[in-house]
């Protein structure tokens, strides 16, 4: 056995990094950034204007339980009644709204109850989202089995088959999920089926790529032993490949489920059903408090799926 | 108990999975007609998309695709800069007890969908590439920060201790012991994220955040399948090219 080469000294690495090669690549990178920012019509000075920040802040605040007072009339309804919306009327604020055209946001706890009710209502579409993700990842992972076997260099002798399947897997992987969903909804109409189809194709490509890579990395020993005693191809795969890659394959499937839950929240944008669709309906109607409620529901559920899937995957591999 | 469990564990999980999948198929609403009816139409759509693709759209498409790549580059640049402090904040060896909070913060950023961020930024800066760049820039911090923190956690303490023993200042320690170790990995992760962002950038246009997404969604809504086809071909070509380029670059880096 050859001795391993000594690890490069850090100082040497540093010296290397300061060489002309680095200088050239740094210049190349800077040029790329210059090119990238050219012709996009980006106006960075927008950020110095308060209006930009006010607009974004307005959107974010309106997702919370706040009563927005935008005009003198709003101030009237907020404070003019016998039961003021948010505490005692504040003369300074009324003046700011009426005279200077300012916008005031009042903390209004009643909206929290409203948002909570809406969040509970949205549990149904949320379940639909989960269902779509589960079916999508399951179907995708299932279809990925033959394609990952055929895209593994150590199992397929024919170069033509190997490269064709591999190229196919890679090509499918390049299509973004939202694009898939919009094309499929265009073809098959609205609803869950095109969304599941899109998620399935998307998960298929991810699992096929990752699984074929782990098949290529298996220990060839058991495979050779079985070849030596005359096992056929299927037997080789069943007893030589499957036991080695099954935990990883399951782990990829869980990972894809995680990705699918995140993706199906966005698929609603193209009318694919689930909580995403509710979200965009509220966005279009500018019901920002509902949007806020859904976003919180989304954050919690995606975080939960992340945690569960990570824990399961840790046990698997 | 454990022996019985071990024997039937895989059966149990199989059953749970089967039940879960069965439950998923229940109550899904769909407005699709039967596949038999849509089959000829699907075939027609496919032939429109790929056989009769609208090649005359090429020049405009190329411009839009370039814009998409530019967006991905700038979004990744923004994220790779923003993620550096987060990476150090979420690493156990640099942030100590704060690391848990840092990791949670990164998870929180990661689950916030890009498209929603894009909608918020559009409100501020108006529709266009800038909103998309900002959305990608912020969303990518979640993943990049996590990867950065992992490579910060994996650094070799040796050089750092050597520098401490020679009386180097904190800045000198970071500059001579930490940066040379993590920089190639940081760059590699940023390139990987660029690969992902170039995919995301094709989608952001659907909400009006610039790039190829807007023409795509218009074409789909107008059922102009030959234009949808050429756009899809364009996306596939560009993303594949970026995949290759990024794979090659990353192999050179680490």
Q: How much is the average pLDDT of A30-49?
A: 81
At residue A190, the pLDDT reads 75
Does the pTM exceed 0.90?
A: no
B232 or B252, which is more confident?
B232
Is A60 within 8 Å of B120 when comparing Cβ atoms? yes
CB-CB contact of A216 with A154 (8 Å): yes
A115 or A79, which is more confident?
A115
Please name the residues in contact with B243: beta carbons below 8 A apart, sequence gap of 6 or more: A170, A174, B195
At residue A12, the pLDDT reads 64
User: CA-to-CA distance for B50 and B27, rounded, in angstroms?
Assistant: 35
Encoding tokens for residue B213?
Answer: 């997404």
Q: Is the pLDDT of residue B242 over 60?
A: yes
Interface probe with A: pick from B62, B106, B108, B125, most Cβ of A within 10 Å: B125
Residues of chain A positioned with their CB less than 8 A from the CB of B116 = 279, 295
B163 or A67, which is more confident?
B163
Measured between its terminal Cα atoms, the distance across chain A in Å is 30
At residue A88, the pLDDT reads 63
Residue found by looking up tokens 């190639």 in the block: B184
Q: How much is the average pLDDT of A25-37?
A: 85
Counting Cβ atoms within 10 Å, is residue A188 exposed (0-12), middle (13-18) or buried (19+)?
buried
Of residues B156, B199, B217, nearest to A182 (C-beta): B217
Encoding tokens for residue B254?
Answer: 């680490």
Look at phi and psi of residue A41 and say left if phi exceeds 0, alpha if psi is from -120 to 50, else beta: left
User: CA-to-CA distance for A186 and A285, rounded, in angstroms?
Assistant: 23
* Tens of pLDDT, residues B80-107: 999 999 998 898 887 778 888 998 899 8
Reported confidence tier of residue A1, pLDDT bands at 50, 70, 90 = very low
Residues of chain A positioned with their CB less than 8 A from the CB of B181 = 10
At residue B76, the pLDDT reads 95
The percent of residues above 70 in pLDDT, for chain B, comes to 95
At residue A144, the pLDDT reads 94
Reported confidence tier of residue B72, pLDDT bands at 50, 70, 90 = very high
According to the per-residue pLDDT averaged within each range, which of A229-233, B91-95, B190-194 is highest? B190-194
Give the number of other Cβ atoms within 10 Å of residue A281's Cβ: 14
* Tens of pLDDT, residues A245-302: 988 999 999 989 988 988 877 788 777 778 888 888 888 888 888 988 998 898 888 8
In this structure, of A135-139, B109-113, B182-186, the range with the lowest mean pLDDT score is B109-113
Mean pLDDT of chain A: 83
Q: Is the pLDDT of residue B179 over 90?
A: no
Mean pLDDT of chain B: 87
Q: Is the pLDDT of residue A62 over 60?
A: yes
Q: How far is A135 from chain B (nearest CA, A)?
A: 6
Q: How much is the average pLDDT of A146-160?
A: 89
Q: Is the pLDDT of residue B31 over 80?
A: no
* CA dist B84 → A154, A217, A221, B71, B222 (Å): 40, 33, 43, 20, 44
CB-CB contact of B99 with B145 (8 Å): no
Reported confidence tier of residue B120, pLDDT bands at 50, 70, 90 = confident
Q: How much is the average pLDDT of A224-245?
A: 86
Q: How far is B251 from chain A (nearest CA, A)?
A: 15
CB of A77 within 8 Å of any CB in chain B?
A: no
Q: How much is the average pLDDT of A63-78?
A: 77
Residues of chain A positioned with their CB less than 8 A from the CB of B112 = 295, 299
User: CA-to-CA distance for B96 and A222, rounded, in angstroms?
Assistant: 45
In this structure, of A107-111, B65-69, B207-211, the range with the lowest mean pLDDT score is A107-111
At residue A143, the pLDDT reads 94
According to the per-residue pLDDT averaged within each range, which of A190-204, B70-84, B118-132, B238-252 is highest? B70-84
Is A175 within 8 Å of B21 when comparing Cβ atoms? no
Is B210 within 8 Å of A295 when comparing Cβ atoms? no
Counting Cβ atoms within 10 Å, is residue B105 exposed (0-12), middle (13-18) or buried (19+)?
middle
Interface of A with B in 99-118 (CB under 8 A): none
- Radius of gyration of chain A, Cα coordinates, nearest whole angstrom: 28
Give the number of other Cβ atoms within 10 Å of residue A222's Cβ: 15
At residue B189, the pLDDT reads 92
At residue B13, the pLDDT reads 84
At residue B147, the pLDDT reads 92
CB of A283 within 8 Å of any CB in chain B?
A: yes
Reported confidence tier of residue B140, pLDDT bands at 50, 70, 90 = very high
Q: How much is the average pLDDT of B42-66?
A: 87
């Amino acid at each position: 056995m050859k001795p391993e080469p000594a690890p490069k000294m850090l100082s040497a690495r540093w010296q290397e990094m300061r060489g002309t090669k680095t200088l050239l690549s740094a210049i190349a990178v800077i040029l790329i950034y210059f090119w990238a920012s050219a012709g996009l019509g980006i106006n960075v000075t927008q950020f110095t204007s308060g209006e930009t920040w006010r607009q974004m802040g307005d959107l974010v605040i309106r997702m919370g339980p706040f009563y927005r007072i935008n005009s003198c009339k709003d101030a009237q309804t907020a404070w003019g009644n016998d039961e003021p919306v948010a505490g005692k009327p504040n003369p300074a604020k009324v003046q700011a709204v009426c005279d200077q055209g300012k916008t005031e946001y009042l903390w209004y706890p009643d909206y929290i109850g409203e948002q909570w009710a809406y969040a509970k209502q949205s549990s149904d579409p949320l379940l639909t989202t989960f269902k779509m993700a589960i079916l999508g990842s399951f179907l995708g992972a299932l279809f990925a089995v033959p394609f990952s076997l055929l895209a593994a260099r150590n199992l397929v002798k024919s170069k033509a088959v190997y490269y064709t399947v591999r190229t196919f897997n890679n090509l499918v992987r390049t299509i973004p999920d939202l694009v898939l969903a919009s094309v499929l909804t265009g073809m098959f109409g609205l609803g869950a089926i095109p969304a599941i189809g899109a998620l399935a194709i998307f998960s298929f490509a991810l699992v096929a790529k990752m699984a074929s890579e782990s098949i290529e990395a298996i220990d060839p020993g058991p495979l050779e032993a079985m070849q030596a005693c005359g096992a056929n191809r299927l037997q080789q795969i069943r007893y030589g490949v499957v036991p080695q890659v099954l935990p990883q394959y399951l782990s990829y499937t869980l990972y894809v489920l995680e990705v699918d839950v995140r993706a199906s929240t966005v698929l609603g944008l193209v009318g694919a059903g689930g909580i995403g669709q509710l979200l965009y309906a509220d966005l279009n109607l500018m019901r920002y408090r509902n949007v806020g409620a859904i976003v919180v529901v989304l954050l919690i559920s995606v975080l939960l799926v992340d945690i569960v899937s990570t824990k399961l995957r840790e046990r698997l591999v | 108990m454990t022996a019985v469990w071990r024997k039937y564990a895989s059966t149990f999980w199989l059953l749970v999975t089967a039940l879960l999948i069965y439950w998923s198929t229940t109550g899904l609403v769909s407005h699709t007609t039967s596949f038999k009816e849509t089959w000829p139409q699907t075939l027609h759509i496919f032939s429109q998309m790929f056989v009769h693709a609208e090649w005359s759209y090429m020049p405009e498409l190329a411009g839009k695709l370039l814009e998409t790549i530019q967006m991905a580059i700038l979004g990744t640049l923004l994220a790779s800069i923003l993620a550096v402090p987060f990476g150090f904040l979420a690493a156990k060896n640099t942030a100590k007890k704060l690391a848990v909070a840092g990791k949670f913060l990164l998870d929180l950023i990661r689950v916030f969908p890009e498209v929603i961020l894009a909608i918020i930024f559009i409100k501020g800066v108006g529709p266009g590439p800038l909103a998309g760049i900002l959305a990608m820039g912020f969303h990518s911090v979640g993943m990049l920060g996590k990867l950065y923190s992992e490579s910060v956690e994996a650094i070799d303490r040796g050089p750092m201790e050597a520098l401490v023993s020679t009386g180097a200042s904190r800045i000198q320690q970071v500059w001579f012991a930490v940066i040379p170790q993590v920089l190639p990995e940081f760059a590699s992760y940023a390139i990987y994220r660029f690969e992902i962002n170039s995919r995301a950038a094709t989608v952001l246009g659907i909400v009006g955040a610039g790039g190829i997404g807007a023409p795509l969604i218009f074409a789909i809504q107008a059922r102009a399948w030959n234009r949808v086809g050429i756009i899809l071909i364009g996306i596939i070509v560009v993303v594949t090219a970026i995949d290759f380029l990024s794979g090659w670059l990353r192999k050179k880096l680490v």
